[in-house]
Amino acid sequence: MNIWVFAQEANGAPTSATLELLTKARGAGSVTAFLGGDAAGIAGALGEFGATKVYATGDLGGKLPGVAVSAAMKAVIDGGDAPDLIMFPQSYEGRDVMSRLSVQLDRTVLTNNIDLSVDGNAVSVTTPIFGGNVLVTTAFSGSGPFLAAFRPKSFVAESAGGGAASVVAAPVPELGATGSARVTAVHTEETHGPKLDEAAIVVSGGRGLGEAAKYEMIETLAKLLKGAPGASRAIVDAGWVPYSYQVGQTGKVVKPGVYIACGISGATQHMVGMKGAKNIIAINKDKEAPIFGIADLGIVGDVHKVLPKLIEALQSRG
């Protein structure tokens, strides 16, 4: 089976989601990475995790990846190198590229998957629904290329010890009207401490904090535990913290050693993003809150009373 992985790069290295997909793909077939950008700096890492070839578009010149990379993929496919399956990270760009390509190829898309099964030419994927309580396995029908997106942390990235992948240019063809949007400036939100989706401990706050200013307790606690602060969708929508803090179906998927949910009731949307944590501590006033159904340690109490004492106790340990 010939598998492409839509590769993404951040800070000069492939993203962890890219490496996870390469690892899974190499167990199921021969792997080509397809990159929207310049491969010079990362062909080594892509090869190490299982890609034998890298298609690279070169610099996109401010074009949005959805339109540009899908058109470059379509050009390679029309040129005779058609994959059986293309795996995308469930990320902003992954979603856009696969959406555009699905129309160009007239193929269905399956998103939000957490597992892949390949048997001969048959490909199926597994998707959690209803907050992860039910797993649906869906098989692609008809002919490839099959298009599937996988949530971050669905697979564990492991080096294959491979050498650098060979790089083949896959330039973006003329796009016409669809390609007329341009990125004019890039803004990076500053973060301190470990990244939310890589931290060993995540401390998240929700509506139960009552007001934006109380989020400081979450940041203090996260810092004391050398963890990352997170948030429920409710307080992100309310504008208390930036979107990059959001844990859940539409935010980050986290699987830390310990997840501490403070004033979070446990909406389905949130639980999907954190129920993979090894240990869960929940503090909430409402003893009926769904979060207690999955917590290893549940504290029925007021975050405004419990958190200051917890912070003081940790500070006094030095």
Partner 1 sequence: MNVIVCVKQIPDPATPGALNADNTLKREGKLILDESDGYGVEMALQLVDGAGGGEVSLVSMAPNGEVSGMRTALAMGAAKGTLISDPALSGTDALTTAKVLAAAIQKMGGADLIIAATESSDGYTGTVPEQLAEVLGLPSVTFAKRLTVNGQTLTVDRQTEEGYDEVTCPLPAVISVTAGVVEPRYPSFKGIMAAKSKPIETVTASDLGVTPVGWAGAGQSIVNVAKAEARAAGEVIEDDGEAHAKIVAFLENLKFI
> Which residues, 70 to 99, sit near partner 1 by CB under 8 A?
70, 91-92, 95-96, 98-99
Asked if residue 185 binds partner 1 (CB under 8 A), the reply is yes
256 exposure class (CB count in 10 Å sphere: 0-12, 13-18, 19+): buried
Query: CB–CB of 304/210 below 8 Å?
Result: yes
Residues 44, 102, 115, 219: which binds partner 1 (CB under 8 A)?
102
CB 204 → partner 1: shortest distance, Å? 14
Q: Is the dihedral of CA 13, 245, 300, 134 positive or negative?
A: negative
Q: Tell me the one-letter amino acid at 120.
A: G
CA angle, 271 then 187 then 95, to 5°: 50
* CA distance to 4, 26, 157, 190, 261, per residue, from 160 (Å): 17, 9, 9, 33, 36
Q: Which residues from 186-215 bind partner 1, rule CB under 8 A?
A: 186-189, 200-201
Residues 159, 166, 313, 315: which binds partner 1 (CB under 8 A)?
313
Q: For residues 86 and 281, which CB has a smaller minimum distance to partner 1 in the complex?
A: 281
Residues 134, 161, 192, 213: which binds partner 1 (CB under 8 A)?
134
Query: CB–CB of 85/70 below 8 Å?
Result: no
Q: For residues 186 and 213, which CB has a smaller minimum distance to partner 1 in the complex?
A: 186
Residues 183, 210, 216, 315: which binds partner 1 (CB under 8 A)?
183
State the Cα–Cα distance between residues 192 and 225, nearest whole angstrom.
Answer: 13
Q: Using the rule CB under 8 A, give the single segment among 20-28, 49-57, 129-137, 165-173 that binds partner 1.
A: 129-137
Residues 225, 241, 254, 261: which binds partner 1 (CB under 8 A)?
225
CB 53 → partner 1: shortest distance, Å? 26
| Size of residue set near partner 1 by CB under 8 A | 92
Binding string to partner 1 for residues 135 to 164, with x set by CB under 8 A, is what? xxxxxxxx----------------------
CB 99 → partner 1: shortest distance, Å? 3
Collapsing DSSP states into helix, strand and coil, what is residue 65?
helix
Q: Using the rule CB under 8 A, give the single segment among 28-36, 43-51, 103-111, 166-174 that binds partner 1.
A: 103-111
State the Cα–Cα distance between residues 27 and 50, nearest whole angstrom.
Answer: 9
CB 237 → partner 1: shortest distance, Å? 5
Phi-psi region of 68 (alpha: psi -120 to 50; beta: other; left: phi over 0): alpha
Q: List the structure tokens of 137.
A: 């396995």
